[in-house]
């Protein structure tokens, strides 16, 4: 039996256990920085398997690093497990929360972390059985949804000695994510004024809400004078408690996004000047609560092509009639235009090999080749920070029906079903087989690292987090 066959045999025998772990995390959904159940479950599994586990890394109680093996190369697997607020849902085809208003795995991270754990354990089995050198690292990464986990872990240096990193994400197709994302800053601006009676003595007050509103007006004017690819979102999180009391405190929360880290830094500096001006105009003071920041993803073509090669070797996915029926019924609940939107996105991010006739089946089984030119996708992920430190690639597998809206109760339902578990096992195999080649084929790893060095032009990673910032 070859090392590749050992990996597949191990994962085929471990499928029920992995499904159990994924369902256990699904049954205990926890939002970012609160994932005590999921982090302990996964870390304990790895420790029991002989991995050396360091918990609480990067100032994050629910982050951990698990290592097995010795020497170079060191290949990392990034695992996530945070849920989303308000997306509690049963495994059902109609909206039916388990707990009204509660969290749920509406992005499939219960599958994400578990697949990477499965890949790590399978690699350990193969390296042991075939006496192969190298080190496997599993990174327990909390709070991806708020872009906090990997940024603070990167600042702590836990990825610095990696030779390459692999990640995946549940999705509605089987393809490699050979693209970039938007760099981002998340920060809150707190304005401080003076309270007063809104009718009897307003002249004695200074409205913090005026400061926040004036700032947002200024930012709205700024939007005309930044690059079109940039995005600025805001929400006033605190604006006072009663109309007849001049608000002494107000807060506005911003995301600034752009295709590169340098562009975010430039726009962010201009937004801070607007905050200063708003405080002067309103007679208030202010401070900045910097939440997090992240880089854009730097895709690696060598490893991306390798992921695709392994997916092709595994062949098309298979789903039962029962799973197909569940998926078809779930699709009926999607907003109008969902399938068309997903199909148009697929045309941009892949090299074809499909037609609209493929939409007759609700679950995607084909493996699609990624587009040769990376696109900049509109979202952000702190996988970007890892990709600026070491060669990194990621892929997606079918874990929910085609066209499923992002961050929805429908994803929660599919991620707790056998559909999600089937996609998870496929991902675990792809990741493990890819990591095996990176561990055992020096020329391949050297090519990936050479591409990385050329892409970064020797630039070293500098954390976007200001000194003294703590996760929150």
> Which helix (H) or strand (E) covers residue 109, if one does?
helix 109-129
Let me know if 44 is exposed, middle or buried by CB neighbors in 10 A (0-12, 13-18, 19+). Answer: exposed
Report the C-alpha gap between 11 and 29 in whole angstroms.
Answer: 25
Q: What span, in angstroms and rounded, lies between the C-alpha atoms of 351 and 180?
A: 17
Over range 396-415, report the average pLDDT. Answer: 97
Are the beta carbons of 204 and 194 closer than 8 angstroms? yes
C-alpha distances in Å from residue 31, one per residue of 75, 129, 316? 28, 38, 33
> What confidence tens digit (pLDDT) does each residue in 308-333 have?
999 999 999 999 999 999 999 999 99
pLDDT beyond 90 at 378: no
Q: Distance (Å, rounded) from C-alpha 294 to C-alpha 380? A: 8
Report DSSP letters for 173-211, one per residue.
Answer: SEEE--SB--EEEEEEEEEE-B--BTTT-GGG-B-HHHH
Predicted local confidence at residue 45, as pLDDT: 98
pLDDT for position 285? 98
Segment 275-311, tens digit of pLDDT:
999 999 999 999 999 999 999 999 999 999 999 999 9
Percent of the chain at pLDDT > 90 equals 98
Q: Which two tokens stand for residue 7?
A: 């990996």
pLDDT-based confidence at 69, cuts 50/70/90? very high
What whole-number distance in Å separates Cα of residue 183 and Cα of residue 180?
9
Torsion from C-alpha of 395, 401, 407, 410, nearest 10 degrees: -150
Tokens of 276: 């200063």
Give the chain's mean pLDDT.
97
User: Is residue 112 very low, low, confident or very high in pLDDT (cuts 50, 70, 90)?
Assistant: very high
pLDDT digits (tens, 9 = 90+) for 156-177: 999 999 999 999 999 999 999 9
Helix (DSSP H) and strand (DSSP E) numbers for the chain: 14, 12
So what's the pLDDT on residue 301?
Answer: 97
Q: Enumerate domains of the chain plus CATH numbers.
A: 3-180+296-456 (3.40.630.10), 183-294 (3.30.70.360)
Whether 458 has a pLDDT exceeding 90, the answer reads no
Q: Could you report the per-residue pLDDT of 208-256, keeping only the tens digit for each? A: 999 999 999 999 999 999 999 999 999 999 999 999 999 999 999 999 9
Residue-wise pLDDT for 183-221, tens only, equals 999 999 999 999 999 999 999 999 999 999 999 999 999
Q: What's the pTM? A: 0.96
Token pair of 335 as six digits: 């907003």
Quick one: average pLDDT of 25-35?
98
For residue 259, pLDDT over 90 is answered with yes
Closest by alpha carbon to 413, among 97, 143, 16, 172? Answer: 97
DSSP element (H, E) containing 112: helix 109-129
Contact 438/444 with Cβ under 8 angstroms? yes
Note whether 52 and 68 are within 8 A (CB).
yes
């Amino acid at each position: 039996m070859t090392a590749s066959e050992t990996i597949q045999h191990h994962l085929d025998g471990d499928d029920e256990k992995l499904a159990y772990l994924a369902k256990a995390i699904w049954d205990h959904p926890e939002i970012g920085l609160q994932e005590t159940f999921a982090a302990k479950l996964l870390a304990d599994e790895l420790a029991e398997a002989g991995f050396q586990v360091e918990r609480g890394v990067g100032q994050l109680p629910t982050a951990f690093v698990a290592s097995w093996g010795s020497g170079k190369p060191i290949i990392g697997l990034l695992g996530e497990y945070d849920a989303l607020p308000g997306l509690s849902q049963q495994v059902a085809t109609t909206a039916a929360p388990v707990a009204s208003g509660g969290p749920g795995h509406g992005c499939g991270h219960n599958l994400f972390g578990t697949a990477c754990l499965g890949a790590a354990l399978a690699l350990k089995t193969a390296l042991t059985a075939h006496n192969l050198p190298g080190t496997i690292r599993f990174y327990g990464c909390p709070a991806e949804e708020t872009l906090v986990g990997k940024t603070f872990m990167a600042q702590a240096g836990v990825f610095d000695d990696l030779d390459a990193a692999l990640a995946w994400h549940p999705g509605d197709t089987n393809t490699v994510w050979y693209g970039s994302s938007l760099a981002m800053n998340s920060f809150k601006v707190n304005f401080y004024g003076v309270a007063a009676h809104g009718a009897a003595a307003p002249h004695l007050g200074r409205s913090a809400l005026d400061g926040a509103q004036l700032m947002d007006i200024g930012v709205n004017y700024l939007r005309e004078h930044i690059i079109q690819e940039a995005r600025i979102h805001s929400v006033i999180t605190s604006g006072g408690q009663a109309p007849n009391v001049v608000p002494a405190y107000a807060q506005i929360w911003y995301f600034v996004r752009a295709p590169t880290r340098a562009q975010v830094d430039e726009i962010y500096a201009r937004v801070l000047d607007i905050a200063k001006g708003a405080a002067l105009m309103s007679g208030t003071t202010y401070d900045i609560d910097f939440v997090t920041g992240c880089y854009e993803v730097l895709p690696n073509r060598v490893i991306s092509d390798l992921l695709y090669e392994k997916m092709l070797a595994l062949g098309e996915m298979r789903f039962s009639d029962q799973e197909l029926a569940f998926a078809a019924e779930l699709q009926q609940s999607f907003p109008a235009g969902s399938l068309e939107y997903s199909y148009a996105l697929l045309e941009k991010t892949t090299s074809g090999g499909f037609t609209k006739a493929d939409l007759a089946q609700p679950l995607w089984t084909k493996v699609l080749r990624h587009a040769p030119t990376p696109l900049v996708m509109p979202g952000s992920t702190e996988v970007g920070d890892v990709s600026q430190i070491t060669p990194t690639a990621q892929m997606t597998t079918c874990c929910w029906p085609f066209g499923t809206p992002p961050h929805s109760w429908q994803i929660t339902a599919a991620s707790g079903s056998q559909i999600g578990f089937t996609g998870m096992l496929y991902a675990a195999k792809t990741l493990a087989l890819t990591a095996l080649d990176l561990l055992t084929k020096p020329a391949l790893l050297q090519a990936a690292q050479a591409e990385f060095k050329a892409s970064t032009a020797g630039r070293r990673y500098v954390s976007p987090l200001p000194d003294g910032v703590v996760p929150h």
